[in-house]
Amino acid sequence: MKAVAGMENTFIPPLENLAAQFRKLPGVGRKSSYRLAFAVLDFSEKDAKEFSDAILAAKQKITRCKICQNISDSEICPICADRKRNARQICVVEDPRDVAAIAKLGEYEGVFHVLGGLISPLEGKTPDKLTIKELLTRVNDLLADTSASHEKPEVILATNPSVEGDATAMYLARLIHPLGAKVTRLAYGIPVGGDLEYADDVTLARALSGRNEIR
């Protein structure tokens, strides 16, 4: 079914409502929302049900890992449950998409911590809105673990190289340094203002391997 240009205000309420729901997605404007709505109309009833069921299942079954705050369908995510990983090396990222971007490289053997955003007062993102408290608890637990190796825990600050990302990294460094853990920042192989999820594998790998300690 093909939409007619310029007829956005004449569509029937069910279609208008469907398009309005698509506009709640990031990056979807008015024209795109109608294209998506008409695409759904072309679905078979079976496909439409599978589409709606998938949305509900994702909302109902996906939760947060109680250790790293990454998305998971169980209490502890597969990465935190993997005993082969180095639990004394924590890579701190903004959101779950950044975990996927780094994990897919197959070169990082540590674990992660998802902040749930970056410090940005203008957007209402203050430190207390992020999972900073949980991160500090993890670091303190590692430092207090006398049964572990004498290797100093490392916290890799892998926030995006933006104003908010740098501010968040510096804020975290000031909190973690006094605890006694090593704090590093991803090297700037990633362009300033760029997002981890869009970085190519080579650039991301070089940035990870060339990280620098923040003093």
Q: Which residue has the higher pLDDT, 183 or 199?
A: 183
Q: Give dist(CA 147, CA 79) in Å, integer.
A: 22
What's the pLDDT at 40? 97
User: What does DSSP assign to residue 123?
Assistant: G
Return the CATH number of the domain spanning residue range 81-213: 3.40.1360.10
**Strand, coil or helix: what is 64?**
strand
Q: Are strands 71-72 and 63-64 parallel, antiparallel or unpaired?
A: antiparallel
Domain 8-61 has CATH 1.20.140.10: no
User: What does DSSP assign to residue 153?
Assistant: P
Beta bridge partners of 89: 154
Q: Which residue has the higher pLDDT, 208 or 142?
A: 142
Please check the confidence at residue 5 and state whether its pLDDT lies above 60: no
**Angstrom distances, CA of residue 24 to CA of 21, 27, 31, 85, 188:** 5, 9, 13, 37, 33
**Strand, coil or helix: what is 190?**
coil
Among the listed residues 166, 171, 154, 27, the one whose alpha carbon sits nearest the alpha carbon of residue 91? 154
Q: Give yes or no for a contact between 69 and 113, defined as CB atoms under 8 angstroms apart.
A: yes
Q: Which residue has the higher pLDDT, 142 or 205?
A: 142
Q: pLDDT tens, 146-161? A: 776 667 899 999 998 8
User: Do the domains spanning 8-61 and 81-213 agree at the CATH topology level?
Assistant: no
Q: Give dist(CA 120, CA 214) in Å, integer.
A: 21
Please check the confidence at residue 100 and state whether its pLDDT lies above 80: yes
Among the listed residues 199, 126, 129, 117, the one whose alpha carbon sits nearest the alpha carbon of residue 159? 117
Break the chain into its structural domains and give their ranges: 8-61, 81-213
What's the pLDDT at 4? 46
